[in-house]
Amino acid sequence: MLLLCLSLFTNCKEETKQETTVANENPYGKTAKQSDGLTLLGGEFSYYADAAVLQIGSSSIYGVVLNDKMKELYTMGKPYRTEPTDGIQVQVRGKIIPKEEGKEGWPNSIEIKEIISVKALTNKNEVIKIGK
């Protein structure tokens, strides 16, 4: 009887160890991309004169950190622009950075880490251009 109890106790302990290992490898059931702290955003990207923005719909605008990925995104969008100031439709993953207290600028910026897609805008807004 004592041998049976000891055997059951040992088996239960091993099963608990296996479950714990699996939980640590994949916390909360998230994939590696979901656990890396980056955010997926899609919208209209525009860059001109050392300022870049990503507009999400009509409600949110993010400043874009000027780095190599931003330059790569701008270059990838060249075939879809007729004017240097034209926007392009993008989907990117990046790190959201809140604006520091006392600094000017958008409430949040995004540091682009991965470019998912680049396309032409589907509906261009009517823009009045002065000086032509």
Digit-coded pLDDT (tens) for 78-96: 999 998 889 999 999 999 9
- The CA angle 2-6-15, to the nearest 5 degrees, is 155
pTM of the model: 0.67
87 vs 25 pLDDT, higher one: 87
Does 49 lie in the same domain as 20?
no
Residue 90 in contact with residue 54, Cβ under 8 Å? Answer: yes
Residues whose CB falls within 8 Å of the CB of residue 76, separated by 6 or more in sequence, listed in order:
115, 118
DSSP type of residue 86: -
44 lies in the same domain as 95: yes
CATH number at residue 76: 2.40.50.140
At CA 55, angle to CA 111 and CA 52, rounded to 5? 50
Say if 90 falls within a structural domain.
Answer: yes
